[in-house]
Amino acid sequence: MGANLDLFDRARRVIPGGVNSPVRAFGSVGGTPYFVARAEGPYVWDAEGRRCIDYVQSYGPGILGHAHPAVVEAVTRAASNGTTYGAPTEAEVVLAEMVVDRIAGLESIRFVSSGTEATMSAIRLARGATGRDGIVKFAGCYHGHGDALLAAGGSGVANQGLSGCDGVTAGAVADTIVAPYNVVPDLDETVAAVIVEPVAANMGLVAPADGFLEGLRAACDAAGALLVFDEVITGFRLGRGGAADWSGVTPDLWCFGKVIGGGLPVGAFGGRWDVMEHLAPLGGVYQGGTLSGNPLAMAAGRTTLELLDDGAFEALTATASRLADGLSGAFADAGLPAVLPRVGSLLGVFFGAGASSGASSGAGPGPVVPPTDFDEAKVLADNGVYPKVFHALLERGVALAPGAYEALFPSLAHGDAVVDETVAIAAEAAATVVAGL
Ligand SMILES: *Cc1c(COP(=O)(O)O)cnc(C)c1O
């Protein structure tokens, strides 16, 4: 038996499903997962020594690529001074100042240990600050696994084919309203907050329609509700100022995760002072954490943000664009209908059902239209093509996420040569997939 399967068997004996996050079990693509032994730059090596070009990058934190020397050095140095104290440190102040400096309109921030904690805390804060209960979220947006936000979630929830989640009480979601993405919902004075992924990246990649985010801002203002941007993916990836800067729409609260921790467990939520001052110890909304603001995590986050200057975002966008164009061409040449929606450096892929009979013939199922909401995304994500492409790529040394609802995460370590190698491999993979359709 191979080392991957051996580890998976051992894992399944002691960990539910063998994994600590459901998507990793390969349930939605079939087969069994590779276990990572190490990683560097654009590559991961599995337990059997096989190298893959990695577009998972931990679903976003790996924006510099794996094991960036500056991050490794910063974390190592921090660890030698002790790993956690239960008292404040300068490192927390520095990272908070960096975020406040980068995000216009964000005046105060608190660090937590995951994106889930960030959104849970932001929702509690929004309720505490407004004295209202209602929450509006959008179908296909994923905000972590807090009870109130698990209704109609994308990402892992969608990959598992779960419509909801056992163990979430009716009471916990009674005040959650789910609306379709890209339609501005009617709000009334019971709504505390509208939470949205400003670019949806957990139902594949779905861009906000023109006027959608502006419409949410106006609707929240009219109803006295708070607008919460879940920037756990878009923050420090869509640019220095994240999606707020990119869209020109300023929310009342922001949630961060992934990139902000540089690969260590970090989340954060922040916003205007008049909202944030409701948090304990200033106000009556309790929130805290033993490892919140952890010195290793702060060191990794600080080093990562320092390296993400304007030039870095230009380079990242150029890489994503080269990858999107290359893959689009490779899939089209093979007669595999696909669309690769891209917003800045954020990239998704959707496949149409069935093979087209070639670009030149004009016959076949026609172009795949980029989805605008969860219903449209589901039709493409669930048509059975993604798992085939996924495995054809993985066999050839390219790792996408093991689920059709995830985005691709090229990093700053994915140079042109790596992208071009990916495209060449994709051409081969697509040809075998088409032959089998
Ligand atoms: C990943 C993600 C989360 C949850 O973050 P965790 O660190 O996994 O808890 C929340 N919101 C969005 C948009 C995400 O992509």
* Contact 153 CB / ligand 1 (< 6 Å): no
Which of 59, 142, 159, 229 for a ligand 1 pocket mutation test, highest count of atoms within 8 Å of Cβ? 142
The residue written with tokens 């993979």 in the block is 429
With cut-offs at 50, 70 and 90, classify the pLDDT of residue 354.
Answer: confident
- Domains of the chain, start order: 3-63+309-436 (3.90.1150.10), 69-307 (3.40.640.10)
* Catalytic-labelled residue, pool 142, 181, 386, 405: 142
* Contact 406 CB / ligand 1 (< 6 Å): no
* Contact 195 CB / ligand 1 (< 6 Å): no
- What pLDDT was estimated at residue 124? 98
Shortest-distance Cα residue to atom 10 of ligand 1: 143
Instruction: Look at the pTM and tell me if it is higher than 0.85.
Output: yes
What values do phi and psi take at 245, rounded to 5? -65, -40
To the query of whether residue 258 is one of the catalytic residues in this protein, the response is yes
Indicate the burial class of 303 (C-beta count within 10 angstroms; 0-12, 13-18, 19 or more).
Answer: buried
Residues 32-84 pLDDT 10s: 999 999 999 999 999 999 999 999 999 999 999 999 999 999 999 999 999 99
Q: Give the tokens for residue 128.
A: 């505490």
Which of 19, 23, 116 for a ligand 1 pocket mutation test, highest count of atoms within 8 Å of Cβ? 116
Residues 157-206 pLDDT 10s: 666 655 578 898 888 889 999 999 999 999 999 999 999 999 999 999 99
Give dist(CA 320, CA 192) in Å, integer.
37
CA of 291 to the centre of ligand 1 (A): 18
Q: Check if the beta carbon of residue 255 is closer than 8 Å to that of residue 231.
A: yes
* Contact 4 CB / ligand 1 (< 6 Å): no
* Contact 113 CB / ligand 1 (< 6 Å): no
- What pLDDT was estimated at residue 1? 75
Q: Check if the beta carbon of residue 256 is closer than 8 Å to that of residue 268.
A: yes
Which of 233, 254, 255, 260 for a ligand 1 pocket mutation test, highest count of atoms within 8 Å of Cβ? 233
To the query of whether residue 378 is one of the catalytic residues in this protein, the response is no
Give dist(CA 359, CA 378) in Å, integer.
25
Q: Check if the beta carbon of residue 330 is closer than 8 Å to that of residue 122.
A: no
Sheet arrangement for strand 108-112: 108-112, 267-271, 253-256, 226-230, 191-196, 134-138, 176-179
